Amino acid sequence: MKHDMIGDPLNRVDGRLKVTGGATYSGEYKIPGLTYGVLVPATITSGTLVSMDTKAAERAPGVLAVITPFNAPKVPGFQPGAAKPVKGLKLFNDDQVHFNGQPIALVVAETFERATYAASLVKATYKAAPFETDFHKNFDKGVVPNEGKYKDYVRGEADAYKNAPVIVEQDYMLPSEMHNPMELHVTIAFWDGDDKVTLYTKSQGVIGSQRAIAGAFGLDPANVQINSRFVGGAFGSSLRTWPHEFAAVQAAKLVKRPVKLTLTREQMFTLVGYRPLTIQKIGLGAAADGKLVGITHESHSQTAVYEEFTENAVNVSRFLYASPNANTRYKVVPLNVGVPAPMRGPGEATGSFALESALDELSYKLKLDPIELRLRNYTYTDPERNLPWSSKFLKECYQQGSERIGWDKRPAEPGTLRDGEWMVGYGIGCGAFGAYRSKTSAKIKLLPDGTVNIQSATSDIGPGTATSMTLIAADTLGIPADKITFELGNSSFPVAPTQGGSQTCSSVGSAVHDVCVALKQKLNSLAGLPTDSTAAIDYSSILQKLNLPVLELTQDSQAGDEAKNYSMYSFSAHFAQVYVHPLTGVVKVKKLVAVVDGGKIVNRKTASSQMIGGAVGGLGMVLTEEAVFDDRYGRYVNGNFADYHVPVNADVPDIEAIFIDKPDPIINPVGSKGLGEISLIGVAAAVANAVYNATGKRIRELPITPDKILTTT
């Protein structure tokens, strides 16, 4: 068996299960005695609950319980002084209402339909209080987050851009964007006695969910079993254990039967986070030759009054381009809304839109090609941390992307290139996201028939984790991929990090590599060979000869001091060709080229799919997605799939994913860096910059809809 399998386009090992309906998602398990929970939302935006009339609901057919703040059993982790206090919203723990749609009751019934009907019968009396949901009105109430890492950053002189010969100073706005995965958030919970509980739930991190549930209910983590084998999309919405998951566990304990709680699509807009509405101000100053003199990046974004959410919206401006002077300021504005959450490319996607748009504006002021401007400010070491990059091939991204998009056809003068009725333009947007590696464990079992089973408690929200891990194992062991199974999504497996932050392949892949190496060393020892021998071994014959039913090993894997000595990032350059219709304002992205420095690519097929999927999210960010809020009532106007516009097939152009595919020599044994975030970071700016190149109209408020094209001068 050949060893150089890394990079091969292995088909998804779970693909057939998913496309034939054989994959069982969290809400599809048939648990005996299953009951159904439906949440009742608050109809005010701020205030207190005075009383609740639940009699009609309790008398409705099939109803088993109606849980409210006035009768709910106390959850230990919700109480003051708890050993492991639960952060954020604690359902049914007090009478406070923080936002419209906040759950104030949970109805449990024999069927979903009966629970839904009974939920409509619950009546609440409130003492309403003044509320604030208008971000623009409350902009000046922004505060520096409590976490120390968000204090103002200054390198050199603050606001030095103002003294430069050429200046760009602009505001850029992103609306709230909502997680809208195909699979709704759903949790099935059931207890075994008073001290053991099992959940089937939509989770990006089963170990994190296990610890959260154990902490809240005062349980030994070993007595909390979390299952999340298949996840139908998440984008960051399942990075934490949400209030409805705690509520399902609470309800199951009360009724002493399994409870299935499914959020509605409308509740997905309020209860599982979103990309926060953000206004950023960028100041860039450059010399006449294009060398940056100073960068100032300020950001204000919304958060909840009951919990503070932060993200790295300004950080990319500290290191992506060379500037002797750089400073950032970051504030959050508390409002009566549900708390935001990380959304694919969290912070960096938001920040790169502003930075890359401003840099494009600067290129026109300098009469300099946007790629040339980036090259003149290229960083060969990290200016923020004053460390060398573990690897960086962003120049190669510029070169390959410009060739593939046809950058030589881009007009230097905006609004001058046409194809029939359509105005044509080209744009570039770049991005960076940290390349991380967390401590991970994996267990390997070699069976007498020569097959191998590997387990690790990671998750897979769509990128093809099991497929990549199978490929790494096959490459390391030198056996066919069809002899390997990789299991995940189970908290009883060896510990793995949450799938988020583009770290899974680096972290879990390292553990898989290391446990396979440990197995080979053990087999060499059993065969009487040096542990580092590369001689061919018949795995199954060794087990049969020694009469071993199975050979099992568990291996921990973690990085050394690399992160202290190197700055580790993945980089991307996105190129867009757009057509804009001057009479209707319609924008069509004709072609998108995504070029990535993501280290060694483990599986080209799934990596390409991941890049395309992220780019589609970027298209939604720039052209269609916008949560519309009615500040009179504190409610979303378009909190549904019909009125909130995610990109559909007709919106998606030809998307080409290109990989530099050079291994990072520092980060991990495979040399892989993350792809999940940089697949989106930079897309919005690339399209917005292409729109300007096509029309001469600079749209700084997303999404770029036809009305903005028609009304912008």
Indicate which residues carry an active-site annotation.
677
Residues 67, 65: Cα–Cα separation, whole Å: 6
**DSSP letter string, 454-516:** EE-----SSS-HHHHHHHHHHHHHTS-GGGEEEE-SBTTSSP---S-TT-HHHHHHHHHHHHH
**CA distances from residue 226 to 202, 589, 653 in whole angstroms, order as listed:** 10, 42, 39
Residues 686, 426: Cα–Cα separation, whole Å: 8
Block residue for tokens 């319980």: 65
CB 578 within 8 A of CB 424: yes
Block residue for tokens 């690399």: 562
Helix (H) or strand (E) holding 700: none
Of 349, 426, 448, 709, the closest CA to residue 590 belongs to 426
Block residue for tokens 């996105």: 574
Residues 191, 213: Cα–Cα separation, whole Å: 12
Residues 659, 572: Cα–Cα separation, whole Å: 9
Of 110, 108, 55, the closest CA to residue 248 belongs to 108
In total, the chain counts a number of residues equal to 713
My answer on whether omega of the bond before 669 falls inside 30° of 0, hence cis, is no
**CA distances from residue 260 to 18, 122, 240, 265, 671 in whole angstroms, order as listed:** 22, 20, 19, 16, 42
Block residue for tokens 């947007």: 429
**DSSP letter string, 312-351:** -SSGGGGTSS--SEEEEEEEEEEESS------SSTTHHHH
Query: Mapping DSSP to helix (H, G, I), strand (E, B) and coil, where does residue 648 land?
Result: coil
Query: Mapping DSSP to helix (H, G, I), strand (E, B) and coil, where does residue 119 land?
Result: helix
CB 525 within 8 A of CB 436: no
CB 670 within 8 A of CB 510: yes
Residues 309, 335: Cα–Cα separation, whole Å: 11
Q: First CA to last CA across the chain, in angstroms? A: 63
Q: Which amino acid is at 197?
A: V
Block residue for tokens 């420095």: 597
CB 574 within 8 A of CB 683: yes
Residues 627, 638: Cα–Cα separation, whole Å: 6
Residues 70, 72: Cα–Cα separation, whole Å: 6
Of 444, 390, 675, the closest CA to residue 559 belongs to 390
Residues 88, 98: Cα–Cα separation, whole Å: 11
Q: Which two tokens stand for residue 402?
A: 């410009």
The β-bridge relationship of strands 629-630 and 551-557 is: unpaired
Of 574, 571, 592, the closest CA to residue 674 belongs to 571
Residues 421, 520: Cα–Cα separation, whole Å: 64
CB 239 within 8 A of CB 201: no
